[in-house]
Amino acid sequence: MRMIKVDIVDHFDDKGEPVYKTVEEKVYKIEELPLLGKMLECKDSTKRGVNYLNIPCAFDIETTNIFHKNKKGEIITDPAPFAFMYHWQFCIDDCVCFGRTWNEFMILIRTLQERMNLSLKNRLVIFVHNLPFEWAFMNRFINYEEGFFKDVRKPLKILTSEGIEFRCSYALSNMSLSKFCKNEIGVKHYKLVDTYDYGKIRTPITPMSETEEAYCYNDVRGLSECIKSRLLTDTLTTMPLTSTGYVRRDLRSSVTGDKKYRTLFKNNALDEVLYPMCRDAFRGGDTHANIDYSRQLLKNIHARDEASAYPAAMIMDLYPQTAFTKMNVSTYLNTDTSEYALLIEVIFKDLVYIGNTGIPYIPLAKCKKFTPDKIVDNGRVIYASYVQMTITDIDLEIIKHEYLFTDIMMRNIYASVYAPLSDKIKNVVMDYFRKKTLLKNDPDKVYEYNKSKNSLNSCFGCMVMRIDKQLITYDDSAHEYTEDDKPLEELLDKFYKSRNSFLSYQHGVWITANARLRLRKMLWEVGNDVVYCDTDSIKFRGDHEKTFEDRNKILIEEAIKHGAYAETKDGKIKYMGVWEDECKNYDNGVYDEFKTLGAKKYVYSATEKGEVEVVSTIAGVNKSKGSEYFTENGIDSFDIGTVLFDSGHLTAFYNDDNIHEITVDHCKFLTASNVALIDNTYKIGVTGEYLDLLQNALENREDIEYI
């Protein structure tokens, strides 16, 4: 055992920021870990004959990447980049040990099993923050028993034959380790940010500085403290695998024992015809840039955000609440369908976008068939002589508002009666919203606020969990992944028979559809001054203050009618679904400058308390790296062809190797499978089709110097 100096949180200042102090902490050797004492302190919990030791544990590795780049800064793939582990750290409760090799790791596993009497019936859970990464390195060095994978190479948990169960704490928290530490109760060992040089080549014999060791120490000690915080309200048998699992549990609890709800859920079951139609009709958010303003440096741009957009749709809008039944076209044409939720397979001929916002609605990706003559604006259809797709009645309403077409053919129409979501489901959503609203800006309730905020944001995700997700299995002898190929009918039957299933997939489809309609109604009001939109936000030019005020009056009345509001700790009322000014805290009340190159590609600057902040949102580019680049080079440098050499854009190179020896810098050691995550260059670009549209828009654009 030896001592090292680490920084821990001593207290928080008046602004709620942590104040650190340096203390000495013990680092144990494997054989010195006080395991017996930890076992005596813990309480066993049993589930299906399996005992779990309720002890917080964490594991983490440090790796080195070996790769080469050419003169252009591009990664050379022959020879392929690879990586290896040179240091690991393990924490059990408050005791940490270090290791440098996989040999030592295997000794750790054996020691834990022997001294803690572990087995498949008596398990120790070890959390790993981003288990898929560690799994890529450790899979040849463990005695694999079984695992649960959300995708190929992406385990949520791994069980070894020794009785050690590795779980992914990133999936549990849905936060970076740094944020996880800040959001939990009693965490002192925060992740030490910006104190570690990941680019340095290290091997298992490279001396580690005390600063580097402190970084490693806090990574696992802090994670262990996070798990200890979660164990205040859970055991390792009740703790879900994912952050969404907490919300599912609350929602399930709200309807447990409600026979009427259960009957309705089963009666409204989707079959092998309706479920694929719902999958086809499902869309996420509505993100697009008005091409009239794309690639232009704009000034004085306003921004509004919709408050709790998806929860607002859940509380105030209507949903299919009876079994879908087939409706023929003649019945559709001769019936007032306003009270029905509709699923429609539709064909449009000579479809032309005529909307007033520059934000076409139909995504080409959701069109099952289309003609080669289509014209597309950054993935959105602005013309096609033939388009076939599956949509909801809400989508049809929007399309009729924004497009002309010479003919429409409906091949399959299914109808369900509209009604609100279950009051019991809505009560859970409102409980999260009230807590989030009440606890915001309360320095003594930061943990509770973050918990309610994350729970509120997870409600929608629970509603759209795929029923047809196939089970992924891992063959540890061949080191291969296989996906089940069960027929949809069998998967649906299993889903609706399970007592764990209680949420109707079609409700999730309509949540996003309702949210898109709410966004569209505001876009139509703002018109061609819309610059950019993203699910629950609008960025626009010009003065539309009264437009939003008038719309908010209607939305507030709606929120009051449905009880979709809550009170802050200062006694102010917050309403769901209203449009709030994102720029209200900026000195000028606007973004000073804004530039976009399409969906998920924009940069802006704003001044707050005299300080200019540059914000970068570019898919594939780290936010802070992008902000640093455009702060230094100016927002106008955000353009097609710009290359960010230090982008934070990681490219993964997987190497599925068996255990073997390598020599690096005169150090010979064991390694095996690995993944090299290389910070690659990022070249800003658009499709050729979008570039042509941009050029055309530029030719027809007036010189804009914004108001």
The domain ranges of the chain are: 2-240
Collect all residues with Cβ–Cβ distance below 8 Å to 276 and sequence separation of at least 6: 488
* Neighbour count for residue 244 (Cβ, 10 Å): 20
* Alpha helices, H only, 256-407: 259-267, 274-281, 309-316, 329-333, 393-402
Question: Residue length, the chain?
Answer: 707
Cα–Cα distance between 83 and 203 in angstroms, integer?
11
Please report, as a single letter, which amino acid is at residue 268.
N
List, as one string, the DSSP characters of 140-204.
Answer: TSS-EEEEEEEETTEEEEEEETTSEEEEEHHHHH-S-HHHHHHHSTT--S---TT---TTS---T
Token pair in block for residue 162: 């020794």
Token pair in block for residue 247: 């919300």
Cα–Cα distance between 642 and 120 in angstroms, integer?
54
pLDDT at 705: 39
Strand partners, 608: 611
Token pair in block for residue 322: 């009876």
Collect all residues with Cβ–Cβ distance below 8 Å to 19 and sequence separation of at least 6: 9, 10, 11, 12, 13
Omega before 320 within 30 of 0, i.e. cis: no
Q: Any idea what DSSP says for residue 69?
A: B
The answer to whether 141 touches 659, Cβ cutoff 8 Å, is yes
Cα–Cα distance between 36 and 116 in angstroms, integer?
7
pLDDT at 167: 99
Cα–Cα distance between 707 and 705 in angstroms, integer?
7
Cα–Cα distance between 353 and 379 in angstroms, integer?
13
List, as one string, the DSSP characters of 174-185.
Answer: -S-HHHHHHHST
pTM for the model stands at: 0.92
- Whole-angstrom CA distances from 600 to 534, 606, 616, 618, 687 are 8, 19, 10, 6, 14
Strand partners, 132: none
pLDDT at 698: 57
Quickly tell me which residue has 């095996």 as its tokens.
672
pLDDT at 632: 94
What SS3 state is found at 368?
A: strand
List, as one string, the DSSP characters of 565-630.
Answer: EEE-TTS-EEETT-EEETTTTSTTSSEEEEEEEETTEEEEEEEETTEEEEEEEETTS-HHHHHHHH
Residue 77: Cβ-neighbour burial (10 angstroms; 0-12, 13-18, 19+): exposed
> In CATH, what is the architecture of 2-240?
2-Layer Sandwich (3.30)
Strand-pair category, 643-655 with 674-683: antiparallel
Please report, as a single letter, which amino acid is at residue 678.
I
Cα–Cα distance between 491 and 329 in angstroms, integer?
31
Cα–Cα distance between 228 and 93 in angstroms, integer?
8
- Whole-angstrom CA distances from 216 to 4, 162, 436, 473, 547 are 11, 26, 34, 32, 53
Cα–Cα distance between 591 and 607 in angstroms, integer?
8
pLDDT at 707: 33
Element spanning 40, H or E: helix 35-41
Strand partners, 383: 352, 375
pLDDT at 47: 63
Q: Any idea what DSSP says for residue 223?
A: H
Token pair in block for residue 208: 């580690």
Give the residue ranges of the chain where pLDDT is below 70.
Answer: 36-47, 696-707
List, as one string, the DSSP characters of 515-529.
Answer: HHHHHHHHHHHHGGG
pLDDT at 196: 77
φ and ψ at residue 83, rounded to 5 degrees = -140, 160
The answer to whether 102 touches 110, Cβ cutoff 8 Å, is no
Cα–Cα distance between 219 and 201 in angstroms, integer?
20
